[in-house]
Amino acid sequence: MGESDARLGASGFTLRAWVDESMQAGATGVGLYLLAAAVTDPASCEPMRDRLRALVPKGKSRLHWRDEDDGLRRRIADAVAGLDLTALVVVGQGYVARRQERARRVCMERLFFELENMGTSSITLESRTPSLNAKDLAMVAGLRGRGSLKGVRVEFGLPSVEPMLWIPDAVAGAVGAARSGRDGTARDRMAAVVEEITIVVR
């Protein structure tokens, strides 16, 4: 589903987004914070879940990008590239670990703006800890209070339960590796579905 197709969600079908983060530390301590979203029609997700589950190695319960070897990462990238979705990634430059929550807020505000403009009606964030989830909900409440986030529902999900969360995990990891100059292979394989937005988070 390309950009023009995704934007049909505003007047056509329902769109839902699944969101995960990745951090890439630089050699100087300044790196990247990435927030990725997999956006698609929820009615089409079950075949996607099945395709992803088929890639899970024996003895494991899920895919987790940072834990996989290069061969499996290539297979995951090829699977993601073949799915009917848009993977939108906000890349925050200037990230430092001690300001992770600020970087998340800045990237989340931009990502939510883009998702709402696409016609997304529901966003599932990968659950973190109860206290960090509460911070996300406080930010969402602030956006609603400013009128910046209107009809979008925001909730939390677990990757152990929801394979759709494996997609933004993989996309964020692949884009981060490419942006940091380590390996752009997986990002290139996903190119047909990935859109990137670069901002500064300092």
In order of their start, the domains of the chain are: 3-200 (3.30.420.10)
Q: Is-above-0.75 flag for pTM? A: yes
Q: Copy the structure tokens of residue 81.
A: 């590239």
Strands 31-40 and 86-95: antiparallel
List helix spans (H) across 24-90. Answer: 45-53, 70-81
* Non-local CB neighbours of 163 within 8 Å, separated by 6+ positions: 48, 49, 52, 53, 62, 63
pLDDT in tens, 55-78: 999 999 999 999 999 999 999 999
Among candidates 155, 194, 170, which has minimal Cα distance to 51? Answer: 170
pLDDT in tens, 136-166: 999 999 999 998 898 899 999 999 999 999 9
* Non-local CB neighbours of 7 within 8 Å, separated by 6+ positions: 117, 118, 119
Beta bridge partners of 154: 123
